Amino acid sequence: MLLIVLSLVLVLIALLPVWRNREKLQLNDVHRAMAPGRFVDLSLGKVHYQLQGNSDAPLVVLVHGFSAPSYMWDNTVPALHRAGYCTLTFDLYGRGFSDRPDTKYDKRLFVSQIEDLVACVAKGRSFHIVGLSMGGAITSAYVAQYPEKILSVSYVAPFNQPVDIGPLTMPILGRWLGYSFFIPSLPQNQSNDLVHPERFPQWQSQFEQQMQYTGFRRAIINTGCNLISKDPSEDFRSVGQTKLRKLVLWGKNDKVIPIEDAQRVVEMLGKNTELKVFENAGHAMQYEAFERINAALVSHLSA
């Protein structure tokens, strides 16, 4: 009897990732038709993007963070258009409506995605770049590799030092833990991005939409192992060695990447770096406190 009970428990444990899996659909043209914007075929798959504004205006490329896709810039883009800029937003591989290639999700992947995307849809011209959270580390990696293509750099609470993700890095146990607990908890954890989540009742459901497409779980866990757990400091210091103007924006109420990291980032970025700290603002302040953040961004871009 005990052996039967133990066997059943083991089966239940083994099946937990299956029961908690929301990936029921293959991302295809039917689903892409629901997305705003357009798609382009790059070397590793289709990428969802929106190139908006006057095509002859200075270009601003906006890079989103770890898990929430490009809708994070929805409250930023209109202000940049009013200020006379063209904007390029896109979903990183594995997120939103972009493909989820079975590959290594490290900084090289995302740097090459930006380079290929700009070459395809913006004729490879120079641009301002803005990075949010993990997008800040990707931004630094891109600028470190292609400084001659950048007009200015802006960061919104950038990921700036490695995170210990513990057993998630382990080959079998890590995937089981990630699929059983970490990934299913992501929608609820999105409220940590906001100071007043009650004002955004759609915040969780908006995030959940991308979770129904096969490959999201694999991409997120892979990114944790190959980017989030790695130290981006060298790239930030490389940006600091350029003569580019740099802006760092941070919310005093950030629950994801604490305000205490701000001075560290400024020191790595060195000269020509401006830090602005905002009261009553959290990690997704570009969405929640967008009026103040937009004004700071526009001032920096037009300087």
Residue 5 confidence (pLDDT): 58
Residue 217 confidence (pLDDT): 97
Residue 10 confidence (pLDDT): 63
Pick from 227, 232, 235: nearest CA to 144: 235
Q: How far is CA 260 from CA 109, 127, 138, 300, in A?
A: 29, 30, 21, 23
**pLDDT, tens only, 255-265:** 999 999 999 99
How far is Cα 278 from Cα 259, in angstroms, rounded to an integer?
10
Mean pLDDT of the chain: 95
Q: What is the arithmetic mean of pLDDT over 105-111?
A: 98
Q: What is the arithmetic mean of pLDDT over 60-85?
A: 98
**pLDDT at residue 185 is higher than 70:** yes
List, in order of start, the domains of the chain with CATH numbers.
25-302 (3.40.50.1820)
Task: Quote the pTM value.
Answer: 0.96
Phi-psi region for residue 86, left (φ > 0), alpha (ψ -120 to 50) or beta?
beta
Residue 8 confidence (pLDDT): 63
Higher-pLDDT residue of 9 and 212 is 212
Residue 19 confidence (pLDDT): 86
